[in-house]
Amino acid sequence: MNTYKGYYKPKNPSKYLGDPTNIVYRSSWELQCMVYFDKNDNILKWGSEEVVIPYRSPLDNRVHRYFVDFVIKVRTADNTTETHLIEVKPFRQTNPPEIRKRKTKKYLNEVTTYLVNEAKWKAATEFCKDRRWKFQIITENELGR
């Protein structure tokens, strides 16, 4: 599946939180999640980049906006509902890069990406805690890739 960006047309548009005619995926992993959320009967509602969380960037110390990949409302095994915010990322971006002797442009980009992601995820965790929601990072490992 070599699809990296496009529009998703839901089979169950009534489940979508937001405009179901304007659902953009930015990776094949996001597309895989969208199909799962759309088809799964235990996902009652879902949205893509519908929740925006302010966070302070460690790079410039300014407040930026974090558009979380997904928000889902889930029916649990005990028939209650939970709301989850889900971020889809490559596993390598969920851990700090290994320290290297040579500070190449690639290495510096990995470090800044990780630091910004870490700030976003901290803000998302607090945002969810305040609302009794759950924040989850999904990687290719959870997607079975």
Per-residue pLDDT of the chain (145 residues), as tens digits, is 455 899 999 999 999 999 999 999 999 999 999 999 999 999 999 999 999 999 999 999 999 999 999 999 999 999 999 999 999 999 999 999 888 888 899 999 999 999 999 999 999 999 999 999 999 999 999 998 6
The neighbouring-strand residues paired with 81 are: 75
Q: Which residues are catalytic?
A: 30, 69, 89
Strands 81-88 and 52-56: unpaired
Nearest CA-CA partner of 86 in 19, 7, 33? 33
Place of tokens 């009967």: 41
Contacts of 59 (CB under 8 A, 6+ apart): 112, 115, 116
Place of tokens 């870490």: 118
Q: Is the dihedral of CA 97, 98, 99, 104 positive or negative?
A: negative
Q: Residue 127, Cα to own-chain centre: how many angstroms?
A: 14
Can you give the pLDDT at residue 128? 98
Residue 62, SS3 per DSSP: coil
Q: Which two structure tokens, joined as six digits, stand for 53?
A: 């969380």
Burial label, 124 (beta-carbon count in 10 A; 0-12, 13-18, 19+): buried
Question: Which pTM was predicted?
Answer: 0.91
Q: What count of other Cβ atoms lies within 10 Å of the Cβ of residue 60? A: 8
